[in-house]
Structure 1
């Protein structure tokens, strides 16, 4: 007995005759009769009372059909889910990210994805870059959203996403607070507070690239503090700090944010999504497609 036998039995019960079931299933009537007889012989029971008026279920057949319908519904549902998973509209995707991405374009993209693909569960993992990369390589994380460019995740596939302006966070009474934007040379000699957590190390490299000279190194103080705690220290006059543009959404911390410019305009920071080239999760493909820059 297999699923085909169950479908013949359920169709015959629904139609009240073997010939009508055969027409519905687009097979010849003798095939339906023979398959049902095979089941009855195998189980040594009668499922149908046969007459010239058609075929009626026996009491045993009625109980059998109830279970058969349930089995066929479960199988059909399983097939639909498998097709949906293969099409990338059902499933699960694990996404790693920096804590600093808890707002801004990443969150906007995440909301868009959840609205478009409600059947895909998104598991978020917030970790430093080293742990995110290790998780992707181990297969525990489908994709990591990190600061950088396509070369950031060397052995991984990468998709360049959006970019954000680099901003400097200042105390509200800082002498530079009245500027619409600030040039890099104006930041020389300032004391910078950076978090030990990502993207703090990236900010340190940016500072050194723009402000370091053989005889002049910027003063950089690294603390094991969250972004919010670093900004609170800035508000207390302990220094200034660099942040991604999304930090401007933080309110009530007593700081102001100003874009940092060079001779070409605003300094921008890019983000990339990294994943293993052999990751075949269809839900990942759907997720990346939503985050992919348009135009």
Structure 2
């Protein structure tokens, strides 16, 4: 007579579970069973896990009853997995390891050491303090995924309000009663000139040297703010500037400077990219070098721990590039 071996995952369990009925057990029970299998003894496993042997033994017995399978053969020499128990423990070990990893990851996210940080900006990342800040944050928190959103200020503000963007780094003000802000750093404003422009040959450039120039700026932010700054500086000298707003990106405006008869204004982050035929010059006024202040903006109720880490890093560790006078 051939003996039929019962499938350990059969429809009927020793406690009468029917096919399709869920088996309920705890990760802790699996951890106890895995430890017992590795130690070969309930007493050694209990010592390893710092629990009472009676507690561990009872939990494993309840687990065996729950799944309808004898995992261990008990003897005075210890506990050895049965054939079916060894197969079960292999799967249980994977579950325990995945649960441990899940818990560790959740704890890291709660501490801001993992997860995702969405950063909005409207300026170049080729150089400057923003790029430096992102590199430092990446080095300190490599398990945090950084996602960038480049957009106009209105779009960034909407993203902050909806909390689809964690923090926006912009050289100016964002409107929103629920926003908080942190001053980050000043960056110099540079004039981009074609090499043929007379002011391109000057070592020291003042706003009055640009009185006859045509300024071309993007309609998207920070173009309008740059236009207001140009008007304020030149009108203070008795000059009404010629400003043209165009619906193209600042990168394309920079590319066109070399072949056009106009100039534009950029922050020093643009100095990280080469534009053939274009000369970048610092511009001075009575207060020294022209500059713009960058701010971090975020929703007051944003509870992303990675955001708190980022703000702390740029506030405490970042050394701003000074504005030379």
Per the TM superposition, whether the score is higher than 0.5 is: yes
Distance 1:177 1:114, change over 3 A: same
Tell whether the 8 Å contact from 2:119 to 2:165 is kept in structure 1 after alignment.
yes
Work out the CA distance in 1 between the residues paired with 2:196 and 2:68. Answer: 92
> Shift of the alpha carbon at 1:153?
4.5
Q: CA deviation at 1:12?
A: 1.5
- Pick from 263, 273, 281 the counterpart of residue 240 of structure 1: 263
Structure 2 gaps, min length 5: 1-24, 321-325
User: Does 2:150 align with 1:126?
Assistant: yes
Q: Distance in 2 between matches of 1:139 and 1:56?
A: 54
How many Å separate the matches in 2 of 1:221 and 1:200?
Answer: 10
With normalisation by structure 1, the TM-score equals: 0.91
Secondary structure of residue in 1 paired with 2:302: coil
Residue 127 of structure 1 and its aligned partner are, at CA, apart by 0.7
Alignment deviations for residues 144-193 of structure 1 (CA, whole Å, 9 cap, x no partner): 11112xx5455311111121111112221222222222222332233211
Task: Tell me which moved more, 38-47 or 87-96.
Answer: 38-47
Distance in 2 (CA, whole Å) between partners of 1:275 and 1:122 is 16
TM-score, normalised via structure 2 length: 0.83
CA distance in 2, matches of 1:248, 1:42: 67
Provide the aligned length of Structure 1 versus Structure 2. Answer: 293
Work out the CA distance in 1 between the residues paired with 2:155 and 2:289.
Answer: 31
Query: Are 2:299 and 1:273 aligned?
Result: no
The answer to whether residue 4 in structure 2 is matched with residue 4 in structure 1 is no
Per-residue deviation, 1:137: 0.7
Q: 1:45 to 1:225 in 2, by over 3 A?
A: closer
Report 1:34-73 matches (<5 A): 34-73=58-97
- Note the C-alpha offset of 1:109: 2.0
Q: Report if the CA contact (8 A) 1:160-1:270 is conserved.
A: yes
Q: Decide which moves more: 114-123 or 34-43.
A: 34-43
- Measured in 2, the distance between the counterparts of 1:59 and 1:247 equals 67
Counterpart Cα distance in 2 of 1:108 and 1:128: 22
Identify which of 175, 191, 198 aligns with 1:175: 198
- Contact 2:166-2:307 within 8 A present in 1 as well: yes
Kept in 2, the 8 Å contact 1:100–1:227? The answer is no
- Spell out, residue by residue over 1:220-251, the C-alpha distance to the aligned partner (whole angstroms, 9 max, x if none): 11112222332343323422222212222332
Aligned match of 2:130: 106
| Candidates 46, 54, 63, aligned match of 1:30 | 54
